[in-house]
Chains A and B, each alone.
Chain A
């Protein structure tokens, strides 16, 4: 579903991404971890074309991001994204945050968008907060809205960029539960996170990045128990 081949990215020296090769199959959940500043988020942003790269190729759903004819706007409808600091539109209510894209991008009627958004908000226990502005919501509530904003577009892939790093412990569990059920429902997920409990439960592949390079990748057992490289071992010692 996503094939990343020899991708390099640099702003100058040193390189932000070095010869990244990753293949992600349909319905897989892939966790990307590594020290801060290692290029995890940059890699994630390359997948939906928000960041450009200088070398290599990324193919999503059979469409090459390199191809100048590729309509990135259209491609991105299939790739949802969730951010560390939620990135909700502060001037809109929770409901409007979710509804704006389907109304403007997919030309849904306001009625249809609001109906679907309400179904989601009820599901995650936020029905009564539909008319609240982001500033009135807690971090966990904001992230629920942000997930709803991504899911209403019915994407085939969802990218999570440290979705729980800005949350307090209680809220983290709620968000992880939503992500786990999403993963189990068959969504293709690429998630930058240090939540190894999440990785253990649903990750098909764990990718460890340091200084822009993939140092190690493998399934949970392979990565955690039979860790091969010292760099990954050091990192795991710090976060576990």
Chain B
């Protein structure tokens, strides 16, 4: 059993490492950019608000695979230099996922009482300080369950990076399958690995949800 997998385990591990790298960079970048874009969505500055809203709505209306394609093929034309597929994919993920993280952060910010901002202002804090020390940490903690869920989706999304030739986990599996022709075994293995990671992720989300209830953050 699983001989086709064990014989090629190093190859699989390399693919999985690439998937993990893409996912981690995409999630961290997406969360940071998303937290800032989310602030734009509650901004009173009309220019910032509309700019950010257009960005988010466009990205949420097109499939990720297109973002990856467009970035990979058009950015070199616009910027005049070429990017590695890994760099392109990572930036595409950050751009794409940030739109989703932004909406999660926006609802997190909106759940924060206006009095909290007034209170912080009344102690002399500036808006940038309020965002950094009050709004973002509270929204982050409060929205952690949703953020973890979106992180799981990002993790699954990384398999689309194969379209620009990246040999991530699923792509590695299909290469192995072409040689070994053991589809059920190989893709079964891939499914199990994804399941273990994503299921643990959703358990973590549930854990944060319960923890938040205890500290009055939810």
Partner-B contacts on A (CB < 8 A) = 45, 48, 50, 73-74, 76-77, 79-81, 83, 85, 87-91, 100-101, 104-106, 133-135, 146, 149-150, 153, 159
Contacts and interface: CB of A to CB of B under 8 A. Distances in A.
A200 B100 CA distance: 55
B133 A83 contact: no
Contacts of B123: 76-77, 80, 100-101, 105, 149-150, 153
Nearest to A106: B124
A81 B138 contact: no
B217 interface: yes
Contacts of B133: 100, 104
| 10 shortest interchain CB distances as A-B pairs | A135-B216, A101-B123, A81-B122, A77-B124, A87-B115, A87-B119, A105-B124, A76-B124, A83-B115, A50-B118
A88 B215 CA distance: 13
B216 A134 contact: yes
A135 B142 CA distance: 14
Q: Determine which residue in A77, A80, A89, A135 has the highest number of CB atoms from chain B within 10 A of its CB, and name it.
A: A89
A47 to B, nearest CB: 10
A90 B33 CA distance: 24
A91 B138 contact: yes
Contacts of A79: 122
A91 B143 CA distance: 13
B113 interface: yes
Contacts of A76: 121-124
A87 B141 CA distance: 17
5 contacts: A45-B118, A48-B122, A77-B124, A105-B125, A159-B122
Given A101-B124, A105-B124, A89 B129 contact: no
Interface string B140-154: 010000000000000
A81 B125 contact: no
Q: Determine which residue in B115, B116, B124 has the highest number of CB atoms from chain A within 10 A of its CB, and name it.
A: B124
A91 B122 CA distance: 19
A89 B122 contact: no
B126 interface: yes
Nearest to A133: B215
Contacts of B116: 87, 89
Given A133-B215, A133-B216, A73 B126 contact: yes
A70 to B, nearest CB: 14
B113 A87 contact: yes
Contacts of B126: 73
Contact of B138 (A48, A74, A90): A90
Contacts of A133: 215-216
Q: Determine which residue in A45, A81, A90, A135 has the highest number of CB atoms from chain B within 10 A of its CB, and name it.
A: A90
A21 to B, nearest CB: 24
A135 B141 CA distance: 15
A31 B121 CA distance: 23
B134 interface: yes
A87 B118 CA distance: 9
A80 B125 contact: no
Contacts of B215: 90-91, 133, 135
